[in-house]
């Protein structure tokens, strides 16, 4: 009677279905939760990997930027060094040009002095000195001057003879009689000045009085002859002969 009032006996099959539906619904919710949590984890890992890659790219770019900056700094330093070297080279070139101009002016000045004193295109003995060494040995120093207007070489040969007395008789000794090697002439080559030194040895009993210097340019040219007194430096002697 009571079952009749409540509507009959309970339907166990429906309850089971309801229970299964509830369980399935819970499984769906749990699966969604786990799937969401897993997806979130993957997203976190992916984001971490992206940050790691981004950091590596940033570090690589920073290193490349630093290398480029070093190259720029080196280029700037090199350019500054080149600028300083160029300025120094220009300064040295200017000084060299100024020194060359000064020497050229001095050369023109001295050339003018020689030309005014000795004329143009002239080769001659400017000075002759005799120095005593020891015993009968002397050193004859001859200074040649070339007063040519142009920068031309004057070349040729020089010789000299010493005149004096021996035993009361006049005697003239040539160059080959005075030098140990017996040479007869000395070569010369000059533009403006040249000093030639010739060691000589006088024979015993010979009293020198003068020297006759002979300059010859070319075999066919007329020689230039100049005479000087035998005047030893530091000793009282006669005046140079004319």
Q: What is the pTM of this model?
A: 0.51
Categorize the per-residue pLDDT at 191 as very low, low, confident or very high, splitting at 50, 70 and 90: confident
Q: Evaluate whether the domain defined by 120-229 bears CATH number 3.40.630.10.
A: no
pLDDT at 42: 60
Helix, strand and coil percent figures for the chain, each rounded to 5: 50, 30, 25
> Measured between alpha carbons, how far is 215 from 28 in angstroms, rounded to an integer?
133
Categorize the per-residue pLDDT at 14 as very low, low, confident or very high, splitting at 50, 70 and 90: confident
> Measured between alpha carbons, how far is 136 from 56 in angstroms, rounded to an integer?
99
**pLDDT, tens only, 39-83:** 666 666 777 778 878 888 888 888 888 898 999 889 888 888 888
Q: Which two tokens stand for residue 107?
A: 């050369």
Domain boundaries defined on the chain: 12-118, 120-229
Percentage of the residues of the chain whose pLDDT score is greater than 70: 77
Give the contacts of 227 (CB within 8 A, at least 6 positions apart): 210, 211, 212, 213, 240, 241, 242
Q: What is the CA radius of gyration of the chain?
A: 58
């Amino acid at each position: 009677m009571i079952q009749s009032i409540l509507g009959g006996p309970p339907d166990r099959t429906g309850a089971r279905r309801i229970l299964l539906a509830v369980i399935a619904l819970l499984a769906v919710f749990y699966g969604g939760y786990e799937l969401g949590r897993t997806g979130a984890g993957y997203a976190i890992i992916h984001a971490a990997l992206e940050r790691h890659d981004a950091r590596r790219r940033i570090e690589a770019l920073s290193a490349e930027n630093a290398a480029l900056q070093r190259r720029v700094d080196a280029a700037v330093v090199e350019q500054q060094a080149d600028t300083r070297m160029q300025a120094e080279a220009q300064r040295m070139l200017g000084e060299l040009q100024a020194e060359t101009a000064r020497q050229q002016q001095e050369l023109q000045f001295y050339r003018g002095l020689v030309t005014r004193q000795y004329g143009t295109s002239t080769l001659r003995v400017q000075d002759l000195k005799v120095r005593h060494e020891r015993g009968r040995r002397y050193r004859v120093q001859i200074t040649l001057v070339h007063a040519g207007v142009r920068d031309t070489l004057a070349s040729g040969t020089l010789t000299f003879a010493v005149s004096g007395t021996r035993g009361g008789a006049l005697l003239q000794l040539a160059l080959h009689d005075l030098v140990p090697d017996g040479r007869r002439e000395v070569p010369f080559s000059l533009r403006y000045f040249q000093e030639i030194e010739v060691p000589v040895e006088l024979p015993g009993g010979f009293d020198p009085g003068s020297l006759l210097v002979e300059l010859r340019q070319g075999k066919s040219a007329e020689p230039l002859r100049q005479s000087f007194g035998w005047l030893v430096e530091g000793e009282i002697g006669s005046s140079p002969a004319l």
